[in-house]
Amino acid sequence: MKSICDMKPIELAGWVYSHLSRKGIMVTLSGGAVVAFYSEGQYVSKDLDFVNMYFATRKKIRAAMEEIEFLEDGRHFVHPETKLFIEFPPGPLSVGNQIVSDCIMVSSQSGSVRILTPADCVKDRLAAFYYWNDHQCLIQAQMVCKNQNVDIGEIEDWSKKEGKTALFLEIKSRLK
């Protein structure tokens, strides 16, 4: 196994995910780390957000993370060999008001990890833009669209269901 300090974020995510899976803790990588993966490094995330899919207890997560030397520090888990910290937002896995059911597995040298699809990654970022006026997340959505084959029609349909058609139409050209 590669040293933790030498792992790329997706490798660290795969290693942690594989360990958690063996412990019966099902998670999905979301947030900025997925943006970093799909933007091919244009965006750099400082954390790994693993959505707790089946409501594993914090005690169970803590015990599993301690086995791989990640220690709880407030709501985060930290390891002395990496600057990346890990969070476990509660489920259900959703983008805006839509529950996410389709994800993909990404393989790395350190293990595989379940992550959002490119389209759901864009929706996740746009939800932050739509609901919290987070312009950085709009830029992140653009990065993903630039580097991945994202169905803009799917994004438009989702935006309509979120009640954000007018706002989507304002930004649509920026996502192509």
State whether 64 and 86 are in the same domain. Answer: yes
pTM over 0.85: yes
Query: What pLDDT does residue 48 have?
Result: 98
Residue 102: exposure state from Cβ atoms within 10 A (0-12, 13-18, ≥19): exposed
Give the chain's count of helices (H) and strands (E). Answer: 7, 9
State whether 24 and 104 are in the same domain. Answer: yes
State whether 109 and 130 are in the same domain. Answer: no
Domain interval for residue 158: 118-175
State whether 75 and 150 are in the same domain. Answer: no
pLDDT tens, the chain, 176 aa long = 789 999 999 999 999 999 999 999 999 999 999 999 999 999 999 999 999 998 899 999 999 999 999 999 999 999 999 999 999 998 899 999 999 989 999 999 999 999 999 999 999 999 999 999 999 999 999 999 999 999 999 999 999 999 999 999 999 999 98
Q: Where are the alpha helices (DSSP H) in the chain?
A: 9-22, 32-38, 58-67, 118-132, 135-147, 152-161, 165-171
Q: The CATH number of the domain where 26 resides is what?
A: 3.30.460
Number of compact structural domains in the chain: 2
Query: What pLDDT does residue 25 have?
Result: 97
State whether 153 and 129 are in the same domain. Answer: yes
State whether 51 and 133 are in the same domain. Answer: no
